[in-house]
Chain A
Amino acid sequence: MKQIVAREEYCIGCRLCEINCIVHRSQSKNIITAFRHEREGLTPSVVVESSGQHNFAVQCRHCADAPCVEACITGAMTRDPETGAVICDTKRCVSCWSCIMVCPAGAVMRGASGKPASKCDQCAGESEPCCVAGCPNAALKWEEVND
């Protein structure tokens, strides 16, 4: 399946991927409106970790064994049979955070107050995920991963 691959050696810790993710998840799709008026309800589904010179962007790895799908109490977390991506049906999620409890990558986020779990859906419908498209150093790549 196609995966977002994060390459630590080129991640510069600018966090533009987080910002692009927030904009993508906004209603307005406009960065200024999104940050000014929608920010409270928006959680990026990519997290940039920084420690010294090292930076690293992590979003859902769509794990082969997907512990979040197993742990989901509502059946909201499922694997798309066509793309192989793990997706969260936010209409079904009740914010119990079982997915957060089991995600070894720490890649599922709590939605803003009362909002459902937030995770990467690889920007389904777009030609490439917006974090990849906006990465200024091509540290994030969108490529077929076979192993």
Chain B
Amino acid sequence: MQNQTKYLVIGNSTAAVGAVEGIRSFDKTHSISLVSREPYHTYSRPLISYLLAGKIEEDRLYYRPGDFYLKNNVETTLGVAVEKIDTTTRTAHLSDGQTLAFEKAVIATGGKPFIPKIEGVSSKGVFTFTSWNDASAVDNYIKTTGAQQAVVLGGGLIGVKSAEALRARNLEVTVVELAPRLLALALDAQGSAFAQEAMEEAGVKVELGTTLQRIVSKNGIATGVILGTGREVPCQIVIVAVGVIPETGLVADSGITVDRGIVVNEHCMTSVEGIYAAGDVAQGTNSLTGESRPIPIFPNAYRQGHVTGCNMAGEPETLDSSFAMNSVEFFGLPTISAGLSTAEGSEFKILEMSNPHKKSHKRVILRDGKVAGALFVGDVDRAGIFTGLIRSKIDVSSFQSSLLEQDFGLLSLPVEYRKQVVRGKGVLA
């Protein structure tokens, strides 16, 4: 490979693709090198649960067409990790011993699963679930061992999606969550209750408010777990899905500021000029809370990647607004949460509407007359209008009574805002 490049992209997932597309929006000629630890063409991580479930074939896992990098004139080095970045010489040291000099770089290494120190966690049959390799490993394990039972540790997004996939493979699945409810970061109590109902109707057992004392194994092979309550649940597969942490190892001692993730400004630039970070590894400012934290969600990763790419190519783009949002459908129950969807407290005004028969729940969170969060369970149609309202920060007090009405739509919105949206001009004034 050539050992110098104008643009270095580290990583090969959503933010990396966003960065490539951002760069190529403004610079069609200069060299881009992409280095990624995983050996695969860019694929979509959220799709691994669909792959495991057998809902899609491997060819649908890819995030972009096979000729994507060829068409965008990107030189890829796959299966090789960047181990260290030297910010003074602008050189990346690769795991194959090579070095690569760059002018500008984006770190888009994503996150790695957090593995708690539980006895037996290194037994065979214990998996994480964030990569293609993870999905393949679980798939192989099921096929080779004929595993019948699984325990999923963690009732967050990865937990419920992996539980759904395992259930689709006809395993008996138990989800163990320390919090008193499922998807506690995205859903409120009512939303969680509907989610739990949907899971239980599909035959998944849910154990809340508890965790694993230890993983029971025999000859190094997992055979069950002991819950916090002391009860043993027999299983051949344990999925550890208690969270991801930013993969910041490569910038250790580089002079790049790292907090929970790599700290970036509104142009996604790190503390070192010309070096950027995007996606789950980056830590920007949450526009709703004002806190600096990683927001490890898919649209954010792409947006950050794209903003980064534009800036790398010399086009000063700004990240307008970042907040958590998730859309996930499991066991036939769609859910969408955006912003401070679970917020409680006197500074918020909460509008809610539930229909247990339809398992539908809507919750809109207002702060200072503006929408700060929204949650939709069951009926998610047109939820994006609310996400738009959160982004645009327009005052909704004059029409807040209509927010949860059945026919709420663009007609309920201020005419100027509506016209802007309808012209395809986005939501920001």
Binding site for B on A (CB under 8 A): 3, 6, 47, 49-51, 54-56, 58, 61-65, 67, 70-71, 73-75, 92, 94-106, 108-110, 113, 145, 147
Chain A residues positioned under 8 Å from B329 (CB to CB): 95-97
Which residue of B is nearest A70, CB measured? B302
> Considering the chains assembled together, what is the distance between the CA atoms of A141 and B382 in angstroms?
23
Give the Cβ gap from B409 to chain A, nearest Cβ, in Å: 4
Q: Is the CB of A110 within 8 A of B381?
A: yes
Cross-chain contact of B327 among A75, A92, A96, A104 (Cβ < 8 A): A96
Q: Scoring B residues 390 to 429 as 1 if CB is less than 8 Å from chain A, else 0, what string do you get?
A: 0110000000000000010111100000000111111100
Chain B residues positioned under 8 Å from A3 (CB to CB): 424
7 of the cross-chain contacts (CB-CB < 8 Å) are A49-B409, A56-B411, A70-B18, A70-B299, A96-B327, A101-B384, A104-B384
> Considering the chains assembled together, what is the distance between the CA atoms of A104 and B383 in angstroms?
8
Q: Is the CB of A74 within 8 A of B63?
A: yes
Which residue of B is nearest A67, CB measured? B299
Give the Cβ gap from A42 to chain B, nearest Cβ, in Å: 15
Of B54-62, B83-91, B191-199, the one touching chain A: B54-62
Nearest first, the 9 closest Cβ-Cβ pairs linking A and B are A104-B388, A106-B382, A103-B384, A61-B424, A71-B299, A101-B327, A49-B409, A63-B424, A49-B411
> Considering the chains assembled together, what is the distance between the CA atoms of A43 and B381 in angstroms?
12
> Considering the chains assembled together, what is the distance between the CA atoms of A47 and B382 in angstroms?
10
Chain B residues positioned under 8 Å from A101 (CB to CB): 299, 325-327, 336, 338, 380, 383-384, 387
Given A95-B329, A96-B329, A104–B299 Cβ distance below 8 Å? no
Q: Is the CB of A61 within 8 A of B384?
A: no
Q: Which residues of chain B (281-321) have a CB below 8 Å from chain A? A: 298-299, 302-303, 306
Q: Is the CB of A105 within 8 A of B384?
A: yes
Q: Is the CB of B298 within 8 A of A98?
A: yes
Cross-chain contact of B426 among A58, A63, A108 (Cβ < 8 A): A63
Give the Cβ gap from A4 to chain B, nearest Cβ, in Å: 10
Given A56-B411, A92-B60, A101-B384, A73–B44 Cβ distance below 8 Å? yes
Give the Cβ gap from A24 to chain B, nearest Cβ, in Å: 21
Q: Is the CB of A102 within 8 A of B299?
A: yes
Give the Cβ gap from A146 to chain B, nearest Cβ, in Å: 11
Q: Is the CB of B336 within 8 A of A104?
A: no
Chain B residues positioned under 8 Å from A73 (CB to CB): 44, 46-47, 298
Determine which residue in A58, A75, A101 has the highest number of CB atoms from chain B within 10 A of its CB, and name it. A101
Q: Is the CB of B64 within 8 A of A100?
A: no
> Considering the chains assembled together, what is the distance between the CA atoms of A34 and B244 in angstroms?
47
- Cβ of B50 < 8 Å from any Cβ of A? yes
Q: Is the CB of B303 within 8 A of A61?
A: no
> Considering the chains assembled together, what is the distance between the CA atoms of A67 and B336 in angstroms?
15
Chain B residues positioned under 8 Å from A96 (CB to CB): 46, 327-329
Chain B residues positioned under 8 Å from A98 (CB to CB): 298-299, 327
- Cβ of B385 < 8 Å from any Cβ of A? yes
Q: Scoring B residues 313 to 350 as 1 if CB is less than 8 Å from chain A, else 0, what string do you get?
A: 00000000000011111001010101000000000000
Q: Is the CB of A51 within 8 A of B412?
A: yes
